[in-house]
Homo-oligomer: A and B are copies of this chain.
Amino acid sequence: MNYPTGIKKTNLKKDHSNINYKNRGMTLESEINLSNEYYREIDKAYIYKKPTPIKITKVDYPSRDKAIIKEAFFTIPSTTDYNGIYKGKYIDFEAKETKSTTSFTLSNIHPHQIKHLSNVINHGGVAFVIVRFTTLNETFLLPAEKLLSYLKKCKRKSIPLTYFKEKAIILNDGYQPRIDYLAVVDNLIGGI
């Protein structure tokens, strides 16, 4: 479960706090968000992270115009985290980090998210996953087509790093945008 940014660190127990607040620099999520902001600023693409899905069970109204959520739970997302429009194309992707130095565990992506990526491709959209091996500091963009063909052939519960090296595209860190994943998307859609 990914917890959203903006949660007070003091409210997180220690075994959770090291997920989002490690010292190695920005999280993949923050870097993608900054990249998307930059793309919007230069009017290149409109891609947003969806809000974290939650189920609200208790709301208080201390005054007429104020609402405070007093109880809610994180729920499993129906779709992927990011979507939007680029060059008239529907863009859809999921971003994940792993500490492993050898493979990416597939349980990080829910089966219905994989089905969703498949649906997007079938309907003419561009779908992919961005996976960062944080310990190695290597980030890959794996087109959904490659992810799906791997899942079809291999019944393993993880994708080895070697598969990323072979089939995915490396995303290098930059200044602006931090991660220029749309340069890779340009190649995927044939450099329109």
- Which residues from chain A sit less than 8 Å from chain B, CB to CB? 1, 3-4, 6-8, 11-13, 15-16, 40, 43, 45-46, 48, 50-61, 64, 67-74, 77-79, 83-90, 92, 116, 119-120, 122-125
Contact = CB atoms under 8 A, between A and B. Distances in A.
Q: Please tell me how many copies of the chain the complex holds.
A: 2
A72 B15 CA distance: 22
A64 to B, nearest CB: 7
Given A46-B79, A46-B123, A85-B124, 10 more contacts: A3-B56, A6-B56, A8-B58, A11-B58, A16-B61, A46-B119, A69-B73, A85-B125, A87-B124, A88-B89
A48 B78 contact: yes
Contacts of A79: 46, 48
Contacts of A40: 119
A12 B61 CA distance: 7
A125 B83 CA distance: 13
Given A64-B15, A85-B92, A125-B85, A72 B73 contact: no
Nearest to A49: B78
Contacts of A119: 40, 43, 46
